[in-house]
Amino acid sequence: MSPAQKPQEQPPKDLRSLLSDLDDRADRILASLFVLWDLDTRYSEIEKSVERQDYIDVLRSTTEKMGADLGVVERKAGMLGYDRLFEWIDGGINDEEKQKRQRFVMRITEKIKDLENQMAEAKNGYSGDK
In whole angstroms, what separates CA 86 from the centre of its chain?
Answer: 21
Asked if 70 contacts 22 with a C-beta cutoff of 8 angstroms, the reply is no
Instruction: Report the C-alpha gap between 108 and 95 in whole angstroms.
Output: 20
Q: pTM surpassing 0.95?
A: no
Instruction: Report the C-alpha gap between 108 and 125 in whole angstroms.
Output: 25
Instruction: Output 55 or 102, whichever has higher pLDDT.
Output: 102
Asked if 66 contacts 29 with a C-beta cutoff of 8 angstroms, the reply is yes
Instruction: Report the C-alpha gap between 73 and 22 in whole angstroms.
Output: 6
Average pLDDT over residues 85-91: 94
pLDDT-derived band at 72, boundaries 50, 70, 90: very high
Domain boundaries, the chain: 15-123
pLDDT-derived band at 49, boundaries 50, 70, 90: confident
Per-chain mean pLDDT for the chain: 86
